[in-house]
Amino acid sequence: MEKTVKIGLLGAGTVGSGVLQVLRENAREVSLKAGASVEIKTVLVRDAKKQRPNMEGIVATDKIEDILEDREIDIVVELMGGLHPAREYMLAAMEAGKHVVTANKDVIAQFGANMFDAAEKNHVGFLFEASVGGGIPIIRPIMECLTANRITEVMGIVNGTTNYMLTKMTELGEDYQTVLKEAQEKGYAEANPAADVEGLDAARKAAILASLAFNTRVTLPSVSVEGITNITPEDIDYARQLGYVIKLLAIAKDSPEKGVDVRVHPAFLPKDHPLASVSDVFNAIFVKGNAVGEAMFYGRGAGSLPTASAVIADIVSLARGIVNGEVREVGFQVFGQKQICPIEETVSAYYVRLLVADMPGVLGAIATAFGDEGVSLNSVIQTRKVDNLAEIVAITHHVKHRRIARAQRTLSALPVVTKISSVIRVETPPTMEVA
Amino acid sequence: MEKTVKIGLLGAGTVGSGVLQVLRENAREVSLKAGASVEIKTVLVRDAKKQRPNMEGIVATDKIEDILEDREIDIVVELMGGLHPAREYMLAAMEAGKHVVTANKDVIAQFGANMFDAAEKNHVGFLFEASVGGGIPIIRPIMECLTANRITEVMGIVNGTTNYMLTKMTELGEDYQTVLKEAQEKGYAEANPAADVEGLDAARKAAILASLAFNTRVTLPSVSVEGITNITPEDIDYARQLGYVIKLLAIAKDSPEKGVDVRVHPAFLPKDHPLASVSDVFNAIFVKGNAVGEAMFYGRGAGSLPTASAVIADIVSLARGIVNGEVREVGFQVFGQKQICPIEETVSAYYVRLLVADMPGVLGAIATAFGDEGVSLNSVIQTRKVDNLAEIVAITHHVKHRRIARAQRTLSALPVVTKISSVIRVETPPTMEVA
């Protein structure tokens, strides 16, 4: 007789309704692959009376106890989002001996270590593939497929909202406010878009990826974050002219000398880099390891069905273990706390755009000011007139962030400099990196 | 006390030496991730006397019995390649109770079912991540990360040699013979390049991917194969002008109506398709599922260290099970033999290039001949003169292969047609497919 694995679902929002739909539509495939019938028994919702699709035979409840105290439920799937009470519910589920699947990047980024400890203590599985990259398989590939490698770098486009906005700004030449409004109308951006456009969502994912890739603990406060709110059509146009596109990148690097450098910021990316052609709401994560070289994982980083795909893969994995009498998932492996590289010590090339007095010798004065702070320039060009002023665009060689910060102060103090319009990092891709 | 997992390695060629190197260089990472010390004990080679790097403390032997009869050896890693005796050695290893890891696409494509049966019978693990896509995680992601999906399509660039050649033909305008010579000089193509350029290597990988993605059995004879030997600089140039690039694609589609359609052939791919920018020796595999939408896996499809990365990931996975007292890898899941769609019934758009008499009414006669065979044209243009003849390029709408084959015969019989220079499929990507 075939075993049935029973699930308690916390939340029936965008992702929860996707899980309900996919488990119904693909019931046959899922049960064959799991070696068990996979059934959602109970769903925790705010309003248990509300009619929802794909709920025939499933109990809706507004009481968490109906799930935590139900001994038939093997797996609790948390899709409520937010820190509280999601975290407390997951911990309670583990204490009740239930395996837990979650898509909750907030909890993993902030309380990851804590959650893994609880899973280990209670001898239950704890899986979270959907917390980064939506439907893209990335957590398990890092934890199980790249184990031969010392991973030195992870670089990803992990926020669909901002990638959609930057794509539209690039394709249509529109400004930030216009594309934000359009993204909100299409449902790609929230009414309060801060978490996306200011980079916080990407930062949480960066913390998770860095922790997994480098087998250390990186939490949100260690991630340096800068959003896309200051990106202008002018910057995007200069990027294009120079052979780049602007992307919001989550970057994590690990080096024995400098420690772990984790940051989220907009960056110039060479247009032939594999990440440069990742458009609209798509996500992609580029991983560099000392055996595999470069690998990239691409797909839909959000959305009801893609995220449900990742959640259900975790459910199938646990169900296979339950059928075999023991769940044996690889937990989060920490091999020691690595040092975090301070942002001032991180190294990048930079694009700097300035408005200066339109007079002879200005280009020289600017170049000298950069040089005085130890910033060597790859190129500096005077591009166009803006209101009787001259616009200058400089691309630096690789420098430490503190040097560029000092150069900014020095430049600002020059009488000929009216304004520093933009300072954006230029990411030379791993394949083009100079040793 | 830490457990030691001992390995017998069959073959110390390109991939074998990579495994020796990576296991030595990344010994600490690998043992931490495996939860066991992973040691190569014995290597089977042709010449046991030959000096090899990274062999300190490792026994070289030319007798398979030294590995098969060694009770200390937990895992046999087969990297000899070819069908025989690789297959027999793997079966003997399983019978001796040893887990097996292989990179051998020939054996999997031809005897896959057989091998999985033997693994199950002997209660051992049998893993083969390196058999497709070199270092790219693709086997495990399909088997474990996309389990929520009904996978409907897999499309990949899975042969680095031909992708390198087509990239050079596209970038430099060189002809087939010139780039083949260059690829041979660089070691990217073998002295006898047939398996690569005629599509057989890609066909084996296509059979493996189709079997895994659709949970059925697809063996090499079911794969329709066409190589790149007839691709000319003219075709590549026309592709460019029309907004495409030419790639050698491994394509597998599954539909309830038509069955499983598996083929390898050159194809026009729209230049904004994610696979279009996969250049040089890189590989990528695009997967379409009914929950995840599109996902793509990209990386180095061959080479010593990238392939070793995949092999060692399989070793680590088995080692984790050995440490826990039981290896429980998910085997190859076949849910029934699906029907194979005959090549005549497969559907594509086509690019057809012809040399015709340069006289009025010819374009009409060509279009009529296509129409008579039920092939409707998307566009037909007269492009240039070649030796007093006119060259015509037609792009068809989607048609069954048998219609295009018939149209070819009808066209050849027309007095005005001197030559049909090329017939190449045009692959509309999944994201642009018309329902």
Who has greater pLDDT, B435 or A421? A421
Tell me the β-bridge partners of B389. B357, B386
CA distance A103 to chain B (A): 14
Does the structure show a pLDDT above 70 at B435? no
Write down the catalytic residue from B6, B205, B253, B288.
B205
Identify from B147, B287, B300 which residue to disrupt to test chain A contact, counting A C-beta atoms within 10 A and taking the largest count. B147
Q: What is the mean pLDDT of residues A24-38?
A: 96
Looking at chain A, which residue has its C-alpha nearest residue B145? A313
Say which residues have a Cβ less than 8 Å from residue A241's Cβ, sequence separation at least 6. Answer: none
Residue A17: per-residue pLDDT:
97
Q: What is the mean pLDDT of residues A140-161?
A: 97
- Look up residue B335 and give its DSSP letter: -
Domain ranges of chain B: 4-134+304-323, 139-300, 343-432
- CB of B95 within 8 A of CB of B68? no
Residue B383: per-residue pLDDT:
85
Q: What is the mean pLDDT of residues B383-407?
A: 93
Query: Which chain B residues are closer than 8 Å to A274 by Cβ?
Result: 277, 298
Fold of A140-299: Dihydrodipicolinate Reductase; domain 2 (3.30.360)
Chain-chain contact of A148 with B309 (C-beta, under 8 angstroms) = yes
Report the percentage of chain A scoring pLDDT > 90: 90
**Nearest Cα residue to B231 out of B271, B180, B192:** B180
Q: Catalytic residue at A186?
A: no
State whether residue A432 sits within 8 Å of chain B by CB.
no
Query: pLDDT tens digits for B360-394?
Result: 889 999 999 999 999 999 988 888 888 899 999 99
C-alpha distance from residue B284 to each of A432, B146, B223, B381 (Å): 20, 17, 19, 33
Identify from B20, B129, B145 which residue to disrupt to test chain A contact, counting A C-beta atoms within 10 A and taking the largest count. B145
At residue A305's C-alpha, the angle toward residues A311 and A24, to 5°, is 80
Q: What top-level class would CATH report for the domain B139-300?
A: alpha beta
Residue A433: per-residue pLDDT:
38
Rounded-to-integer distance, Cα B98 and Cα B92, Å: 9
Looking at chain B, which residue has its C-alpha nearest residue A32? B335
- DSSP three-state, residue B243: coil
What would you report as the CA-atom Rg of chain B, rounded to the nearest whole angstrom? 24
State whether residue B317 sits within 8 Å of chain A by CB.
yes
β-pair type (A293-300, A282-289): antiparallel
User: Would you tell me which CATH number, out of the four given (3.40.50.2300, 3.30.1490.20, 3.40.50.720, 3.30.70.260), belongs to the domain B343-432?
Assistant: 3.30.70.260
Hey, how many other C-beta atoms are within 10 angstroms of the C-beta on A433? 11
State whether residue B308 sits within 8 Å of chain A by CB.
yes
Does the structure show a pLDDT above 90 at B432? no
- Per DSSP, the residues of B156-205 read EE--HHHHHHHHHHHHH---HHHHHHHHHHTTSS-SS-HHHHTSHHHHHH
Task: Name which of B292, B306, B330 is nearest A320 (Cβ-Cβ).
Answer: B330
Residue B2: per-residue pLDDT:
76
**Nearest Cα residue to A130 out of A310, A305, A312, A303:** A310
CATH architecture observed for domain A4-134+304-323? 3-Layer(aba) Sandwich (3.40)
Residue A6: per-residue pLDDT:
98
Looking at chain B, which residue has its C-alpha nearest residue A142? B137
Query: pLDDT tens digits for B82-138?
Result: 999 999 999 999 999 999 999 999 999 999 999 999 999 999 999 999 999 999 999
State whether residue A365 sits within 8 Å of chain B by CB.
no
- For the entire predicted model, the pTM comes to 0.95
**pLDDT grade for B240, boundaries at 50, 70 and 90:** very high
